[in-house]
Amino acid sequence: MSTKPLQLFGIPGIPKIEQGDDLSKIILEAIRESQMELIDGDIIIIAHSVVSKAESRVVHRDTITVSDRARTIAAANGFDPLLVELALQESKRVLRSRGVLITETHGGLVCNFSGVDRSNAPVDCFLLLPEDPDASASQILDTLKAETGLNLAVIISDTQGRPWRIGSLNIAIGCAGIGAFRHNRGKRDLYGRILKRSTVCQIDELAAAAEPLMGQADDAVPVVIARGYEIVKDGKVGRDIHRTAAEDLFR
């Protein structure tokens, strides 16, 4: 394990992102204007909200047609039927619809309301998750590397609740340039025992570490640089984190 300090820097000056904006270039411009700089090995952690806006994953309430199923679920729980309708459209399976609306998205993420959110969305609009967060991360990384010539990584994060614990937490939903996991199998513990299985979701750890700088309200710091972390590539990406139905304790 590295003894180098892990440093995190919020990038100030990111403007409100509009549909079609080149997010990579906006990030680089904000870094330059703040007199910061990227160095080799930096990991850029980006809140999904700005990625979704740039990718036009914004839906105005006036364009939503509510289905009978959405009305039924909304009426039974006191939910906004527009929000329920979008959650159903973004899901391939509803796992629970009493008190919450837990779904499995088309990308395999199990979460409340398919990740559809009004927080930090334009007026009268809803934000959807990126269609393919790993592809989004890869596209952003390609531009950042082309512009800087540096070895970098990108993580796209979202805030999710947890079934066993109260309170939300930043998690990773996509990545590029870094593997999803760090494996400790074969290493020894403090007493010399060899670890037979120990898999750490390193991109979730980094996303959670960035959250205090990002905030959840009007903090307007959607991009954080993590520095000093050894980038480990295991060939896995964000979609590989999701458990299969056979492994999921709640299905």
State the amino acid at position 52 in one-letter form: S
Position 183 scores a pLDDT of: 78
| Structural domains of the chain, with CATH | 7-57+130-238 (3.30.1330.100), 59-125 (3.90.1660.10)
Position 207 scores a pLDDT of: 97
Residues 21 and 54: their CA atoms lie apart, in Å, by 5
Give the highest mean pLDDT range of 128-137, 161-170, 240-249. 128-137
Position 196 scores a pLDDT of: 59
DSSP codes, 23-81: HHHHHHHHHHHTT----TT-EEEEEHHHHHHHTT-EEEGGGPPPPHHHHHHHHHHT--H
Q: Residue 21's closest CA among 1, 42, 2, 49? A: 49
* 126 φ, ψ (degrees, to nearest 5): -120, 145
Contact 87, 113 (CB under 8 A): yes
Residues 14 and 224: their CA atoms lie apart, in Å, by 11
pLDDT digits (tens, 9 = 90+) for 209-232: 999 999 765 557 999 999 999 998
pLDDT digits (tens, 9 = 90+) for 117-150: 998 899 999 999 999 999 999 999 999 999 999 9
- Is the pLDDT at 197 greater than 80? The verdict is no
Tokens of 208: 């959670």
Distinct helix (H) and strand (E) counts, the chain = 6, 12
Share of the chain above pLDDT 70, in %: 90
Q: Residue 160's closest CA among 106, 100, 248? A: 100
Residues 118 and 127: their CA atoms lie apart, in Å, by 6
Question: pTM to 2 decimals?
Answer: 0.92
Position 215 scores a pLDDT of: 79
Tokens of 183: 């494996």
Residues 20 and 56: their CA atoms lie apart, in Å, by 7
Q: Is 133 exposed, middle or buried (CB count within 10 Å of its CB: 0-12, 13-18, 19+)? A: buried
Tokens of 180: 């999803």
Task: Compare 120 and 22 and report the one with higher pLDDT.
Answer: 22
CA separation (Å) from 37 to 10, 27, 126, 182, 225? 12, 11, 34, 27, 10
- Is the pLDDT at 193 greater than 70? The verdict is no
- Cross-strand bridge partners of residue 158: 171
- Is the pLDDT at 186 greater than 90? The verdict is no
